[in-house]
Structure 1
Amino acid sequence: MTPPDQVPLNAIRVFVAIARERSVTRAAAALGTTQSSVSRYLAVLEEYLGADLIERRGRRSELTDFGRLFESTVAEALDTICFTAQRMRRRTVNGVNRIVVRTSLSTFAYSLLIPKLQLFTSEMGGAVVDVISSLSLPSSSDSFDVLVTRDLALLEPSDSWEIYNEQLVCVGSPHHVKGKSLDVVRTIPILTITSRPDILPTWLRAMGLSTNDIQSGARVDHHYLALPAVTTGKCLLVAPEITVSDLVRGGLLKVVEGSRAPSGMQYRAYAVDRSGNPELARAFCRWLARLCKTATIGEAA
Structure 2
Amino acid sequence: MNYRHLTPSMSLLLAFEAAARHESYTRAAAELSLTQSAVSRQVQALEQQLGLTLFRREGRQVQLTDVGRLYQGELSEALGRIRSATLQALAYQSGVGTLRLATLPTFGSKWLLPRLHAFYGAHPGMLVHIHSRIEAINFDTSEIDAAIGVASHDLPGLICHRLHAEELVVILPPDAAGDAQGWSPARVSGEMLLNVANNPHAWGEWFSHHGLAHRSMRLGPSFELTSHLIQAVRAGIGIGLVPRILVEEELAKGELFSPGLAIASQRSYYLIYPPRNEALPSLRAFRSWLLEQI
TM-score between both structures, scaled by the size of structure 2 = 0.59
Partner of 1:220: 223
Which structure 2 residues correspond to residues 49-88 of structure 1 after superposition, within 5 A? none
- % same residue: 20
Partner of 1:124: 123
Residue 114 (structure 1) aligned with residue 100 (structure 2): no
**8 Å CA contact 1:170, 1:260 repeated in 2:** yes
**2: CA distance, partners of 1:207 / 1:229:** 24
User: Is the helix fraction higher in 1 or 2?
Assistant: 2
Partner of 1:69: none
**8 Å CA contact 1:89, 1:277 repeated in 2:** no
**1: CA distance, partners of 2:281 / 2:94:** 18
What's the offset of the Cα at 1:234?
Answer: 5.7
Which of 194, 198, 201 in structure 2 is aligned with 1:195? 198
Which structure 2 residues correspond to residues 144-293 of structure 1 after superposition, within 5 A? 144-151=144-151, 155-156=156-157, 159-177=159-177, 179-180=180-181, 181-183=183-185, 184-186=187-189, 188-213=191-216, 215-233=218-236, 235-257=238-260, 259-275=261-277, 278-291=280-293, 293=294
- SS of the residue aligned with 2:247? helix
Partner of 2:97: 97
- SS of the residue aligned with 1:204? helix
**2: CA distance, partners of 1:266 / 1:91:** 31
**8 Å CA contact 1:176, 1:234 repeated in 2:** no
**1: CA distance, partners of 2:90 / 2:177:** 51
After TM superposition, the structure 1 stretch with the greater mean CA deviation from structure 2, 274-283 or 246-255, is 274-283
**2: CA distance, partners of 1:186 / 1:95:** 56
**8 Å CA contact 1:174, 1:252 repeated in 2:** yes
**2: CA distance, partners of 1:86 / 1:193:** 39
- SS of the residue aligned with 1:140? coil
**8 Å CA contact 1:272, 1:278 repeated in 2:** no
What's the offset of the Cα at 1:277?
Answer: 6.8
- SS of the residue aligned with 2:209? helix
Unaligned runs of 5+ in 1: 1-19, 31-84, 294-301
**2: CA distance, partners of 1:230 / 1:148:** 25
**2: CA distance, partners of 1:90 / 1:251:** 48
Unaligned runs of 5+ in 2: 11-84
* CA-based RMSD: 4.0
What's the offset of the Cα at 1:90?
Answer: 7.1
TM-score between both structures, scaled by the size of structure 1 = 0.58
Distance 1:163-1:212 versus aligned 2 partners, 3 A rule: same
